[in-house]
Amino acid sequence: MSTQLFINTPQWSQADVDIYEKPCPMVQNKVAIVAERELRETEITKRDCLKQLKIWIQQNEDVKDCITDNNFLLRFLRVKKFSIPLAQQTLLKYLNFRKRFPGIFLNMDCRDPINNELISGGYIVVSPVRDNNGRRVVIYNTSKFDPKKYSGMHLAKAHAIVYETLLAEEDNQILGVTHVADLRGVNPSFFTLFSASDFGYLIKWGEQSIPMRHKEIHLINMPQTIKYVYDFAKSNLSKKLKQRLMVHDSHAQLFESVGQRCFPKEMGGTCTTVSKMIDSWKIELEEKRGRLLDIDRIQLLSDRYIQNSKKPIFGHGDDGLIGSFRRLEVD
C-alpha cells in the first residue's frame, strides 16, 4: 500500500447500534483486504461476532453502561482477530486498566490546559500523511517535554488521548499505527517521572489492555546514557513488539523504513511544518473529543473474571462462538 494523504472517515454515531440490526459500515477496499488477510475479518464474521459480544455485555453483571456501538467494540475484536473470549478479556483488562489509573484515563480532554500544552508544544503529534503501509504515524519529540514541569501522569495521559483518538477511526483499528520517537531530549530528569515498577507495569499492561495494533516502533537519536532504560523497557515488551522495535542511526535510515513524506520539515521530512501538522492534528482531536469523554461512563464493578495470561480463558458461556477456538497467528 503506497503512501497516501490522510482522508477523514465518517464520524462515529452517538446512538448505540441495535444488538441484532444494522450492517457494519464498509471500509475502503484496500483496508478491507488487509482486514480479511490479517484479521480474518469478513462482513459475516463481523456481524456474528458483534452480536455475540453485545449479548455478553448485556448479560455481564460486572460491566455497567458500556458503549456498545460497532466502532467501539470492533477495536477489541480486531486486535484479537475475532476471537470472542480474547476480545472479552481485552475489554475487561482495558476497563480495569482505566480503573486503576484514573489520573491517566479519566477526563481525556484535549482542551484541558496541560493536555493542550503538551499537544500544542509538539511533544506528541500524528502526521496527516500515512506511512508506506497506509498507517498513521505518531511522532514523539522528547525535547518538547519538560519533566521538571510535567509529571509522568501528564505524559501518559497525552499518549492515552492520542491513542483513543486514533482508535475512533476504523482504518487505524485494522491497519494499526507506526510510532516514531526522537529521543535526543531525554535526560536524567525523565527517570524521575515513574518508579521502575510503575514504568514496567504501564508498558506490560498497556500492551495487553489497549486494543491498538502497534505495527512498528522506530527510535532515533537515542543517547547512550539511556541504554539501560531502553533495555529495561524492551524487557517488558512481548516478543512480538520486540521484533517490531527498531533503532535508527540516521534520518535516512528512518525515512527508508517509514517514508520521508510523513515527517515535518524540521525533521528533514517533506510533509509540512510542525506547526501546521499540530494544527491539523488538533482538528482531529476536537472532532473526537466527545467520544473520548463518553468512555468515562463505563464502569467495571468487579475484576473477578479477568484471567491471567497463563490460565485458559475459554468457557464462561463461550462454547461454539465464532472465532473462539481458532489458533491465533501473530498479527
> Tell me, what CATH number does 19's domain have?
1.10.8
Averaged pLDDT of the chain: 87
Do residue 47 and residue 160 come from a single domain? no
Is residue 10 assigned to a domain? no
Do residue 275 and residue 305 come from a single domain? no
**For the whole model, what pTM was predicted?**
0.85
Is residue 240 assigned to a domain? yes
Do residue 306 and residue 256 come from a single domain? no
Is residue 170 assigned to a domain? yes
CB-based contacts of 143, cutoff 8 Å, min separation 6: 182, 184, 185
Q: What is the CATH number of the domain that holds 158?
A: 3.40.525.10
* Contact (CB, 8 A) for 137 and 84: no
Higher-scoring residue by pLDDT: 244, 5:
244
- Judged against a pLDDT cut of 80, whether residue 326 lies above it is answered with no
CB-based contacts of 30, cutoff 8 Å, min separation 6: 1, 134
**Residue 214 belongs to domain spanning:** 107-291
What would the pLDDT profile of 163-215 be if each residue is shown by its tens digit?
A: 999 999 999 999 999 999 999 999 889 989 998 888 888 988 999 999 999 99
Sign of dihedral through CA atoms 264, 265, 266, 269?
positive
Mean pLDDT of 125-133: 95
Do residue 258 and residue 317 come from a single domain? no
pLDDT of residue 290: 98
Do residue 84 and residue 203 come from a single domain? no
Is residue 24 assigned to a domain? yes
Instruction: Give the three-class secondary structure for 129.
Output: strand
What would the pLDDT profile of 82-117 be if each residue is shown by its tens digit?
A: 999 999 999 999 999 999 999 999 999 999 999 999
Is residue 207 assigned to a domain? yes
* Contact (CB, 8 A) for 178 and 215: yes
Is residue 5 assigned to a domain? no
What would the pLDDT profile of 42-82 be if each residue is shown by its tens digit?
A: 999 999 999 999 999 999 999 999 999 999 999 999 999 99
Confidence bin at 28 (pLDDT 50/70/90) = low
- Judged against a pLDDT cut of 50, whether residue 18 lies above it is answered with no
Do residue 307 and residue 284 come from a single domain? no
Is residue 86 assigned to a domain? yes
Do residue 145 and residue 271 come from a single domain? yes
* Contact (CB, 8 A) for 15 and 72: no
Do residue 77 and residue 124 come from a single domain? no
Do residue 199 and residue 279 come from a single domain? yes
Higher-scoring residue by pLDDT: 159, 20:
159
Do residue 154 and residue 258 come from a single domain? yes
What would the pLDDT profile of 251-308 be if each residue is shown by its tens digit?
A: 999 999 999 999 999 999 999 999 999 999 999 999 999 999 999 999 999 999 998 7
Helix (H) or strand (E) holding 216: strand 214-220
Do residue 72 and residue 125 come from a single domain? no
Is residue 4 assigned to a domain? no
Distance CA 81, CA 39 (A): 5
Q: How many domains does the chain have?
A: 2
Mean pLDDT of 4-30: 44
pLDDT of residue 291: 97
Do residue 240 and residue 140 come from a single domain? yes
- Judged against a pLDDT cut of 90, whether residue 39 lies above it is answered with yes
